[in-house]
Structure 1
Amino acid sequence: MLSEKQKEPLIRLVGVSKSFGNNIILDNVDLDIYRGDALVLIGPSGTGKSTILRIIAGLLPLDKGSIYISGQKRKGLIEDGEDPLGISMVFQQAALFDSLTVAENVGFSLYQHSDLSYQEIKELVREKLDMVGLGNTGDRFPAELSGGMRKRVSFARAIMSNPKDEASRPEVVLYDEPTAGLDPIASTVIEDLVRELQCTDRGCGTYVMVSHQDSTIRRTADRVIFLYGGKIQWTGSVEEIDTTDNPLVRQFFSASTKGPIKVIE
């Protein structure tokens, strides 16, 4: 039986709206994210999925509505105040510093914002790289790695924390198209890693992902949300994808050009 703490959302979006110029991206969206969620946001391109991630990460301001982190209303952006729980984001293009080695990328936040010694950070970096299967790549530069390897480095960076500061440990990871542009085998490696990091006490047990890739959605999601027209149009388990009669979901997974989703030519 779930405790009251487990029933309470870690993250809650209430009436969230966001526009860019005259283009309405999110229109009065409500969304609850719970501890242990493996949530994947799906829908056509340009429907606000990545926008939701950036709002949750505190990188993008709201036009209307509120966001609550562990029951605490966030005011402004992430730099305007400290959230009551750690949230990390893995960007679609990995967003590594090309001029830094893999080890320097993974340890960057600790070098900048902790009083840990060089040796302590080096050991933490080695541990995180081992977790993503890249233990021998610390001295290499991002340009020397494949696309899948760069994604894994970004995962290692996202779960890095200061063991002397429990508040720095991320409890939620946001993944923006983590398998985009990867071949099927590299995608499987990333999908497996997402699940492995969820299941280890050294990783993060809650994640929200944006994906268009069928295998990624089916292998990493427990709960799926379909976003279209600025609103949440359907929510269900990954098993319900093949049984729902929702026409948006049916068209999306059949890749049909005929249906309620407008085809952009």
Structure 2
Amino acid sequence: MRARLKHAAMFAYGRCRALRPEKLRFRGAFASFDEAMAHVRPGMLAGYDHDSVTSVSRELMQQVPLWDYPILYWLKRLAPEISRVVDAGGHIGVKYRGFAPYLDLDRLEWIVYDLPALVKAGREQVRPQDRTLSFVERIEDAPAGDVLLASGLLPYLNEPFVDLVRRLRAPPRHILLNKVVTRDGPTVVTLENFGMAEVPYQIRSAEEIPAALKTLGYGIIDSWTIDSLAHRIETHPHLGRAVYRGYAARLL
């Protein structure tokens, strides 16, 4: 009885929060990206692929918060055996710039794959010191890499992760994933409020990515959670907490 009362109270709280969608970071719970896109509020841009969205949180993303350190640790550990990183969902090269003080980027080719608006913005902002940074709009156009990095991509990825990896020219020896948003239960897509846009945001079943890596022939050699980023969908708190996870995997 207590659990049912708690669930009902959280459901009612979510309904109240839904009355002010402009105040929420996350709202709604949908079965697919397409369904979420169909519920973007009138007057808002839909999705990430817009020039005006490329500047959202740009400076923040070029910093190195605590949750980036597992990725930085693995890149440094793998440095002697790798020469090329394919950074899927790499925005305008934010990790390349953020990690520059810690990695020898002059010997590490770094290819960012992202949406056309972000690739355009990234190319426009290349600095003289970004000698090993380049961009592609199709992951098939990236040369074969030693590492596939996807830091913060998976919530926005509108295709199965297995399909993304299989579109690469060759399987990378290593896969590094960070900020994979998960939940106990079936995958849910919510909408993230970017101010001028709403973007579908996927909260995956906790078993999905480990299963995908196994299907692709990778073994997980490290994993972690980012407790400081955990949250609930404000309009659907009864669906439980979203837990952010990271993985380091090696081709078997």
TM-score (norm 2): 0.31
